[in-house]
Chain A
């Protein structure tokens, strides 16, 4: 009978990872912007995504997050190039599937802050169902959807958030399909933190990111992020500097009131900015940990191989 197994590779066998001699015991300072920035972004000059990146850096600086404590994950799209521009562990995954990938990290590594960045194609088209289920399961992470209402990386096709009448290469006469209302979709999917912001208001964007990071659960932000190349001026009416209005969510809005949140979400563009919905519901991380705690309590003090042996004893 075959019971050949290969040698167990030890971490010390890593060719490119030499353990540090003695990790210096030092009072670690927060990172500087220089230490957080990696590759120079490949986005077009003027792209809204720059400000999301800049404020992510600011968040890391301000909250004194260390490199190894964050994981930056993205799918595919212009905005999903994000991880390359951040100095820290990261993964550039496949189109639309960043959320389940990030869920695998979040559920196995409670010690990490998991941030996911992506666009409207990732979130509402190819990865639409993953948004629903990550929201319903309330898996702890922060998801920033950089919504530009167009497919930019592939050069101007209709996106699921493109408004009716938007002329793209796939709708030369103007978009005919009803666009998705991101806020309504996220709230109905069961997301426990749903906020809306825009790249033109850096203070607000940072505020939303901080609140999202502090939320224990699946926190999602729709951030309007203009594509100057393929949808210039899309969000002008939300930008006071371009003659628009930036309407914060009314102070008396109850963020735990789902119906009120839908009402806000139904307001025609430019609508409101801020936290639409925020409730506390146990995260999947916690629910799974509870299941484990209960199961492990019953077998306390037993080694893994002893547990398996006991199981096999019942199969004799």
Chain B
């Protein structure tokens, strides 16, 4: 990307803005240099913009507008945000990467930093690539001279200009929209589409709010940047078939559950899971369903299980400590063979940990949490779109195998915004209402059932022989009545295991990204798919032999992974968790236990941040240099 070669510090326009006309068609910027010389217009295929401010500044809103615009412009987009865990205020960032081609991660380094405050400037300058642009609010930021040689500084009195533009007392309100105007100018974004997005955002509010917002936007857009900064234009994206939708992972997950036919759930508020329950609470009534806020985590999984037992798979979910609290009830669901979907939006742990940071450290509790031999299903979505379809798959796995299914999402995927093709609603939406047709006889735990797979009939179903089942947490006979028989405990434990072994036989073997043989195989799961694939692309472009494998079905694992591993000299399991006592992350340890393959090694970190592409490659190289671990 050809960024501006000016490395000077420029503060523009403390004087009244000379360009105050209201005709802001985007085409104008193509040919309308503002003063004297002609600013360069560079064609770019992607850009990473990081917006840094405080959480109340509405910087998420700017990011949201940009992401949504990209979705409407057939571009790919991915965002990354941090929010403070404090109640109000605190530093916050929103990074958005927009590309005409495939966008796999939110980007290691920003091309443009938009800094509202001194702390935003100082804390995020390191995330800007050398030669990149630092747009800052000159009302709040003092430039550090030592940084001027590396970054193209552009100061704009954002705060005072916003007040000037929209008038009155709204001191901090609207400057995000002003800044959006600036960004729109620099990247020659489609103004009519942005205006429409702004208008839609404020629909239903006082008309004057939309008007004010548009005023702020145009003030930013028309603000003269002089000829000191080049502007950019995205190359045309490939035409896509059908429309794109833009949302974050938690939204995709919640809507996926609705599409899957889930109409009942229960939860307790906890970050970052709360969005899912809020959305379901709001949306389910029009589908005739309900999501209940419970007194605690245990009550919420219990209520969801009650709903599932009553005939329709229900959902519960949580993050961090909430998942720990649910494990006893989870064990009941395994024992009683009642289907359930449990969403775990992972955050930093243990205990209260880091509520607003990302970590993939719940794999162990999802796969193994709880007492006793307690097999359940664990699957992890790899991007926002996948959240939607994973929710449907989870519901159907739960129904098919009468088992609780964990969806392991995480803080980063839950808040990041991506664009993806609109689903085929008529095809994906399913009706899973209970069937209460009378049956002649029913054995809820039939030991002769093929692969051990049995299903409960819902209460309300008449059973003609008059023998009714009990769903139970005690070890039981085939009718659900308690037993202490050594033989039955052995058989029933095997039944609960066998059905998941039969699931493993049905699972698709994941595809290797890149050639199926080579030097290094990077193995990942969950939200890291994008950065890992980008690492593969980057390494291969540099001539290194690197491929990757993304595991969606974590428990049980699909069959045949050993054949994939056999094609590589090194297998590095890339995870956002600690290397553990024995030197492997949580999936790494599971894969080593499963395949006894000493070339499986861990590439882990737990700094609460997503993987940078560069980090993955550096750590992989370092692993090879160090050789096989002493352990």
Residues of A whose CB lies within 8 Å of any CB of B are: 1-9, 11, 13-21, 23, 35, 38-39, 66-69, 71, 81, 83-84, 87-94, 97, 99-109, 111-112, 129-130, 132-133, 288, 291-292, 294-296, 298-299, 304-309, 311-312, 314-316
Contact = CB atoms under 8 A, between A and B. Distances in A.
B428 to A, nearest CB: 8
Contacts of B307: 104-105, 107-108
Contacts of B223: none
Nearest to B402: A9
Given A90-B471, A133-B299, A104 B425 contact: no
Contact of A312 (B245, B332, B393, B482): B245
Interface in B432-447: 432, 435-444, 446
Given A8-B430, A67-B468, 12 more contacts: A17-B439, A23-B464, A66-B462, A67-B462, A67-B466, A91-B309, A105-B309, A107-B292, A109-B310, A133-B299, A292-B290, A315-B68
Given A100-B294, A133-B299, A108 B470 contact: no
A94 to B, nearest CB: 5
B460 A97 contact: no
Interface residues of B, number: 107
A89 B389 contact: no
A172 B309 CA distance: 42
B283 A91 contact: no
Contacts of A101: 302-303, 305-306, 309
B455 A7 contact: no
B444 A16 contact: yes
A107 B264 contact: yes
B288 A17 contact: no
A133 B332 CA distance: 22
A12 to B, nearest CB: 8
Nearest to A103: B303
B389 A4 contact: yes
B255 A312 contact: yes
Residue from A84, A295, A296, A304 having most chain B Cβ neighbours under 10 A: A304
B328 A15 contact: no
Contacts of B246: 315-316
Contact of A104 (B245, B259, B304, B506): B304
A38 B472 CA distance: 15
B103 interface: no
B538 interface: no
15 contacts: A4-B393, A6-B506, A15-B454, A16-B441, A20-B438, A68-B436, A83-B470, A90-B469, A101-B302, A104-B302, A291-B290, A311-B283, A315-B245, A316-B68, A316-B244
Contacts of A133: 294-295, 299
Contacts of A102: 306
B438 A94 contact: no
A87 B310 contact: no
A67 B436 CA distance: 13
Contact of A90 (B245, B289, B392, B468): B468
A108 B312 contact: yes
A109 B287 contact: no
A84 B247 contact: no
Interface in B390-416: 390, 392-393, 396-397, 399-400
A15 B454 CA distance: 6
B429 interface: yes
A18 B441 contact: yes
Given A68-B462, A84-B482, A97 B299 contact: yes
Given A4-B508, A304-B287, A307-B287, A39 B481 contact: yes
B146 interface: no
Nearest to A18: B440
A7 B292 CA distance: 29
Q: Which 3 A-B pairs have the closest CB atoms?
A: A104-B306, A89-B459, A295-B285
